[in-house]
Amino acid sequence: MRFAIQINEGPYTHQASDTAYRFAKAALEKGHEIFRVFFYHDGVNNGTRYTVPPQDDRNLQKLWSELAESHKLDLVVCIAAAQRRGILDANEAKRQGKDGDNIAPGFRISGLGQLIEAGIESDRMVVFGD
């Protein structure tokens, strides 16, 4: 089965990010495909490379980056939600006159069209968070 995943909550304010990560990992281990993971609303906070959790806590950004690298996942951060929360890639930082970017490895910024395409191209879309 081919899945699209949408994550609407931040990594440390709600369990949705943890649950989505575990779902994605389990689905891949069972031989399913993940077409795209789309981070929306506060979920875009999963995609900042400046996350520094305590040593005894999980680092969801790192876990997502590693999963994306090992399985060639497409991790898309919604551009509008990201800009509102100060998450920028190099192109957006330059375009907005900012002096740096903070997008995590394996993540990319794009628009809602990527979410629509994921829904069309997948057998199931699973949404985590409100």
The pLDDT profile of the chain, 130 residues, written as one tens digit per residue, is: 999 999 999 999 899 999 999 999 999 999 999 999 999 999 999 999 999 999 999 999 999 999 999 999 999 999 999 999 999 999 999 999 999 999 999 999 999 999 999 999 999 999 999 8
Q: What is the pLDDT of residue 120?
A: 98
Contact 28, 34 (CB under 8 A): yes
Question: For residue 36, what pLDDT is reported?
Answer: 98
Measure the CA–CA gap between 102 and 1, rounded to whole angstroms. 33
| pTM (global) more than 0.85 | yes
Catalytic residue among 27, 78, 87, 104: 78
According to the model, what pLDDT value does residue 93 have?
Answer: 95
pLDDT, residue 15, reads 95
Complete domains list, the chain, with CATH: 2-128 (3.40.1260.10)
pLDDT of 111: 96
Beta-bridge partners for 110: 78
Annotated catalytic, 29? no
C-alpha span between 27 and 51 (Å, rounded): 26
> Could you give phi then psi for residue 107, rounded to 5 degrees?
-100, 155
